[in-house]
Every structure is written in C-alpha cells, then in structure tokens.
Amino acid sequence: MKLQVKLALYNTLTKVAIILFTGLLILLSIEKISYNHIEVRLEDSKEATLGRLSTGEINNFLNSQKEYTDYNILREEFINITPTKYNPNPSNEIKFSTESRKVDNDVQIYRILSHQFNFNGHTYLLQIGEAIESVEELKSIIKKFTLLVLFIALVLTLISDLVFTKFLLAPFYKIIDRKLIKVNDPMNFDYEKIKTTTQDFEMLDDSISSLMKKISNLFILEKQFIANVSHELLTPISIISSRLENILLHEELSEGSENKMHASLKTLNRLKSIINSLLLISKVENNQFNKADVVMLAGVIKEIHEELEDRIIEKQLKFTNHLKYIYSIQGNRPLIHTLLFNIINNAIKYNYPKGSITIIDELTDEVYSISITDTGPGMDQKQIENAFNRFEKFDTDEKESYGLGLAIVKSITSFHNIKVKVDSVKDQGTSVQLIFNRDE
C-alpha cells in the first residue's frame, strides 16, 4: 500500500474515532443534563404538592384513604398519591426511576420521583412523573446527526487527505522517479535538486545524490582500471606470442615441444581475446564510440548469417530468417554487428545438433523488435538472471566460450538505448528479444 494511502487512511480513521467519541460524549451528556433538569422540576413539584395537601380535591381523597391520580391534558406529567402501610418515621429519601406507564391505551416512559410522607396519622407514597419522550427524541436526533456527520466527515476527510498527501508527497515521488527508477547509468545521474520545502525530502535527495556520486567515482575507477590493465597486457602478450611463433620456425624442435608451443599460443590467443572483450566493454561503457551510422538491421543479420554459415552447416541447424521489415537505426555499425553476432553465435553454440534458429521481427507504432529463438537446452530463472554477468558460462561443448558474449551485449544495448529481454524454458529453448524505441 502506498504511503499516500496509508497516511490518508490513518488521518481518516483518527478523525472518525474523534467524531464517534465526541458524539457519544454529547449523547451521554445531554441525557444526564436533561434528567437532572427533570429531577429538579420534579422536586419542585413535590414541594408544591406537599404544600397544598390540606386543600381542595387532594384533601378529600386523603381523608377517605383513596388513591389520588392526576394527569395533565397531554399526559406528559402526573401526580399519584397512594396510601401505604403506616410508618411512624418515614424516610425523607427521594428516589428517582425511569418507568413506562399505560395511560388510555398509550404507553409512555416517565422519569418518576418517589417519596413517602405522613399526613393526618397515615403514611402515603407520593409519585410525580414527567414524560421523557422529548429526551429520547433528542437522543435519536443526535444519533442520526452523528451518523450523518460521521459519513460526511469520512468522505470529506478521505478526499482532502488524499489530495493533501498527494501534494505533500509529490517531491518524494519525483525523487524516486528521477533519481532511482530512471537511472540506468550512474554516469548519467541527474544531480539537480528537487524543489521541496520538506527537510526530510531534501535530506533524502542529498543522500541519494551523494551516494550516486560515490558510485560514479567507483565506476570510473573500475573502468579506467580495466581499460589500463587490458591495454597494458596486450603488448607483452603480443611479444610472447611472436617469440613462440619464431621458436616454432626452428625445425629441430621435437613433436612434443611443438605441441606444447601450440598449446601455449592457443592459451595466449584465448587471453588476448578475453582482454579485447574487456577492453571493448570498457570503451563502450566510457562512451568512446560515436553513433553516427545509419544501420540497416536486416543487412547486418544477413552478413552474420554468411559469416557463421559454416558453423550452422557443421551443426546441421535449420536457420530461418523471417524478417519482414526494412528497419534502420542511428548508431555504431560495428557495435551493432558485434551485438547481433554474439546473440546469433550463442544461438548456434547453445543449441542441439539438427536444431533450429528462427529470427522474426515485429513493428508497432511505438517499437520495432527482433526475436532470435533457438531450440537449445534453455535456462532456468536463476541462469536468466545471471546471463548478462561477466564470465558467466553455461554448459556447452564450445571450448572457446569465455562468458563475455552477453556482457558485451548488455553494454552495447545500454549504449544504444535498446531493451533486451530473455525468455527461456528449460529443455525447450531460448529467445532473445531486442526492442528498439522508434522515438530514439
């Protein structure tokens, strides 16, 4: 889940909790306050009732020891005086309760004050009630209002938080996009600072730039070291190779000595080939080639087919060229030749005898792609992930494999902004796809 969504959800849930707590607090407070006001009025009514016991209708009921009940017109209040067992010292305690009473087939809920008193030598129970329907209605209104406010707050909070967090995190996503996702080469890193007023994002930006600067320096040192070492090694290798060839010209050498000399020359040539490959990778990565040539890809593949035809025939492979489009790119022709040569050469090298190699292309509005597919032993996922690493070798009968072919492919494709994709199924074959962006 994105940080933006997490922040929005957190803020929304926090505010919802606050609204719920506030609504519940208001609901309980209103109920308590309303009951307190009702109880104060009931106490006042009690005092007034006790003050007029000896007058009028109430006195007549009391003298005749009958129950006295009086409801107002709307049945919202009542007074009830009931004779009870005589108690010479009745308690002055006032009790409050909430009860429902049926009046004329209509049930209402009352807050009732209960109090015992003595009058003319008799004990009576006084009950004064006031309907609390208005309080219940108020509680219901508050509940509905709280739910409505909660829903509106939830929607508005979620929208506002998403908008705000999107604005707040915009510099963060710019840093991630420009300085991490779009960085294919530390040498081409964009050190321009992202505009932001958030100190944390400024620190992140500076930290990434500082890290990339260190990585770039290490890359430069590595490339210079490889280039220098490769260049310096070529001279002594050439000298040793020339001396061994001169020694071979002497006829007095025994057959065993000649075999050892040939083996040494073969080792030197292998070492020279590795050094030249490393030197090529170093030069490509250091941008020491221009890209001024218009390269016809179909023509380059045709040349490579002619160069490798003997090996194809020797292995009895079926070579099928299904290129349908005449497509050209701006680049370095020798490097493009090396790129395609290494891929097709691998398709021959890592293939079963009497297998096949198929080349097809596709053209869309955005990209042009070439796929080179073989019927070899294929690779598992781990081998695919390591395929472009230097000196990564796979099982093959080819003795002159140095594990640098696909490393060179990777360097050349990066230099020309070509995407390379490898699909392989174990024991079924491998397909290498080159994707050329038509905007390039």
My answer on whether 215 and 340 are in the same domain is no
Query: Are the C-beta atoms of residues 396 and 349 closer than 8 Å to each other?
Result: yes
Contact 91, 70 (CB under 8 A): no
Q: By mean pLDDT, which of 10-24, 193-207, 413-427 is the weakest?
A: 10-24
Q: Is residue 216 part of a domain?
A: yes
Cβ burial, residue 396 (10 Å; 0-12/13-18/19+): middle
User: In this structure, are 271 and 327 located in the same domain?
Assistant: no
Asked, for residue 399, whether it belongs to a domain, the answer is: yes
Q: Look at residue 56 in the predicted model and tell me its pLDDT.
A: 62
Query: CA-to-CA distance for 232 and 225, rounded, in angstroms?
Result: 10
The answer on 326 and 355 residing in a single domain is yes
267 and 302 share one domain: no
* Per-residue pLDDT band at 403 (split at 50, 70, 90): low
Chosen domain end from 229, 255, 285: 285
Say whether both 271 and 346 belong to one domain.
no
3 state DSSP class of 321: strand
Structural domain that includes position 244: 199-285
Question: Does the structure show a pLDDT above 60 at 396?
Answer: no
Query: Which tens digits make up the pLDDT trace of 98-141?
Result: 888 887 777 888 889 999 988 888 888 889 988 887 676 766 77
**Minimum mean pLDDT range among 197-211, 268-282, 416-430:** 268-282
| 322: β partners | 360
Contacts of 287 (CB under 8 A, 6+ apart): 415
Domain of 255: which CATH number?
Answer: 1.10.287.130
273 — pLDDT class (breaks 50, 70, 90): confident
Residue appearing with tokens 């099982």: 395
Q: Where are the alpha helices (DSSP H) in 52-130?
A: 56-63
pLDDT for position 304: 92
Q: What is the CATH number of the domain that holds 384?
A: 3.30.565.10
User: Which amino acid, residue 226?
Assistant: I
Q: 330 with 266, same domain?
A: no
Percent of the chain with pLDDT over 70: 90
Residue 25, helix vs strand vs coil: helix
Q: Is the pLDDT of residue 55 over 70?
A: no
Rounded CA gap, 331 and 415, in Å? 9
Same domain, 297 and 277: no
Tens of pLDDT, residue by residue over 280-338, are 777 777 777 788 889 999 999 999 999 999 999 999 999 999 999 989 999 999 899 99
**What's the pLDDT band for 400 if we cut at 50, 70, 90?**
low
What is this structure's pTM? 0.51
